[in-house]
Structure 1
């Protein structure tokens, strides 16, 4: 049995593996682009196949594509959408500008599957031709950006779920510790009392705000330029094709897909994707800052802050026995820095288009997909492995609080700023707590001072 077959395109003949469902143009891309070793994102593959399926139906509705070929294309797409033949999508993420190689990879796989189902052979593109039938009314230039947008819409709920999960964990910890008083810190110095509840509730609120801003990106992502064909003019598309294919995508995806008001503009502009990336960056900046706080609050256990305890997930050192490190939040930091790099790349590629087309789409899409997947996975892992088992060392929090000279601030409205300052100086000089000095000077009882501290920390009031 032959291990290869010969196919022909406009550049000549080329051997293609006999068992491959892709064809000659994909084989050329494999040879041309041995760059990263990374195959296309699976959600992106499925989004592009969904577009091919929708296009076949839209073209059939106007009798441009007959029923027999339409059904063969639909059946081929459905097999791929069910998870079969995904190993046949083999073009490197760094490839021909705009994504022509991936578009032809999809066209060839669908055509070969359809033809074999109709009694034909792989590599003999009849009766279904990858260009004339599978790609009917389409171009790389409108299918690839649409597939990127559909992929982002697919991944967005997962990222939002990861944000929500982490926010829920911080909120749970906050509720469990609403009366756990501790010293706040500003400039990394002791400040007025607060609570673990207030501190962690702030983290939850910040994450939810980021999540809402991410969710607000969805509307723009649903505007597609499919139907613009090669240059946004709609050349070689069937009557009403843009609206028909959009309606079919609504049915297939469940997303409120609409045709952009200007197909040429939507083909050129990637700023809706950049807007999503920007909100991912904003989330990442908050997540990495909060991760830093977790590492700082868990530092120690003897010589650091040690106000929280993170569940151990692995030994922390190859040389120091018993050492445990905050590895989940260290991992989260590393992912965040990488995501920030992806956003920078996306920004550069967003402005790198020329005239009617942005040819940087393959790498732009890949960077966006990675950012969404990596951040979703990292946040979920940190929530599951660390936040769910996080405990608060209330005794440690209390010990730091009562050695803080900043507690003298609570006396301002009782004895005045100057007198409170004298208490603070005495505490600093003698090493005694503010509470002890307040009781000694008969300014108030110890119980009253403790109640004052709790009200100040929990309610922000002392009266």
Structure 2
């Protein structure tokens, strides 16, 4: 190795021996080993997860100082280092791949080393010389990978959850607005993808809005469980090497930092069981299923423009074809479909990893957390994009809706309470055979005027009974 290359690195030691660490790096030996061991996805840790883990280190420094285990000088240096990271500095120093050693030891040490180096330099020391602040003895005091990583995952999803539910509410609100605007736009209902009784476009949109609002409520319902943490359990939930009352003190500090009602859970269980994260993943999956269905409906309603349904038109956001001039595709909801399918895969991965823990620890946490983080971020971004670029600009083709409703043989159903099912079936058969609208056949037979039939259709679309008895 030439002199220039040597000068680019510093030599550190860990329990396995010497390690070459980039000279300018704020991380240390164990992080460098992890980078060499795990060149897997090329993806660095999630931002919310990094910040959550740093908040844990900050809270622990305060909690450990209270009984005198950590000196005020070291506490202040650790706290200052954490605050710099939370403010946006040193973010590029968190470098361990998302797929790494079980439980997340590599990420825990990445945090410990960066914080220790920043603290020591501030105290007049130098990077790679861990004095007076030690990554293990001081930054990691009273902690273990086994309790900090699951806590950081829970804090990270708590940070993401409001953004996800806000996106759900925003889409629901837009559907509600459309529902009010199109409350009197009568159209053919469709069941089994066949013509069915009348409805209104407003009622279809209102159904989407209600369903999404329910999804948001279900997501929020998981929040209390996520606020229960196992920090203070140390390596196996027993609290080994923790100061007196540490779990309660550190939970109080985290509550202040996160503005969440963080509280101590059952320490052993919080490292063994990821049930609350499985519940959250399940609700995200349910949201993805509903969004898939709604996206499919909108793509069908917008199909055409000449040979499909064409009852709505989605705003064009880009050319739809490299070969067919003028073609425009429903790309925003195609994108949302793809994201939802990927989210379903992430939920499957979470499910496998939740049950894959053994004894006192679930070692699958790094990838489990990553799958959840991706699902939440992707859905948030996809829903916001679809709402802003498509939902807010939907144009309704009312003439097309009116055309289809009057072509529908299913309108004969409205006659059931007037003339009975069998006679209504005769009208339906004649309409289907002749191609003439039910409206015209009803008027021709003297059953009711065309105008009265139009009123009956409007009433039926709004769910108002037609009255009368079977004749």
1:257 aligns with 2:294: no
What count of residue pairs does the alignment treat as equivalent?
462
Match of 2:126 in 1: 121
Counterpart CA distance in 2 for 1:36 and 1:186 is: 44
Look up the match of 1:345: 349
Q: Counterpart in 1 of 2:36?
A: 31
CA RMSD of aligned residues (A): 0.7
Q: How does 1:5-44 map to 2 (within 5 A)?
A: 5-44=10-49
- Aligned equivalent of 2:81: 76
Counterpart pick for 1:312 among 291, 313, 316: 316
Deviation, structure 1 residue 35: 0.2
C-alpha displacement at 1:147, in angstroms? 0.1
Q: How does 1:38-437 map to 2 (within 5 A)?
A: 38-260=43-265, 262-437=266-441
SS of the aligned residue for 1:263 comes to coil
Could you tell me which residue of structure 1 aligns to residue 450 of structure 2? Answer: 446
1:460: how far off? Answer: 3.9
Q: CA deviation at 1:159?
A: 0.5
1:461 deviation in Å? 2.1
Following the alignment from structure 1 to structure 2, what is the Cα–Cα distance between the partners of residues 460 and 246? 56
SS at the partner of 1:325? coil
After TM superposition, the score normalised by the length of structure 2 is: 0.97
CA separation in 2, counterparts of 1:180 and 1:246?
A: 54
Deviation at 1:430, TM superposition (A): 1.1
Secondary structure, aligned partner of 2:321:
coil
CA distance in 2, matches of 1:280, 1:10: 42
Q: Deviations over 1:240-287 (max 9, x none)?
A: 000000000110000000100x21111100010000000000111010
Separation (CA, whole Å) in 2 of partners of 1:427 and 1:31: 74
Deviations 1:177-203 (CA, angstroms, capped at 9, x unpaired):
000000000000000000001111000
**What is the CA–CA distance in structure 2 between the aligned matches of 1:173 and 1:315, rounded to whole Å?**
26
Question: Could you give the per-residue CA deviations for residues 285-343 of structure 1, whole angstroms, max 9, x where no partner exists?
Answer: 01001100011110000000001100000000000000000000000000000000000
Q: Distance in 2 between matches of 1:325 and 1:267?
A: 47
Q: How far apart, in 2, do the equivalents of 1:445 and 1:147 lie?
A: 69
Structure 1, unaligned stretches of length 5 or more?
none
Task: Say which SS state the counterpart of residue 182 (structure 1) adopts.
Answer: strand
Give the secondary-structure state (helix, strand or coil) at the position aligned to 1:324. coil
For 1:383 and 1:369, the matched residues in 2 are separated by 21
State the Cα distance separating 1:36 from its structure 2 match: 0.2
Per the normalisation by structure 1, the TM-score is 0.99
SS at structure 2 position matched to 1:459: coil
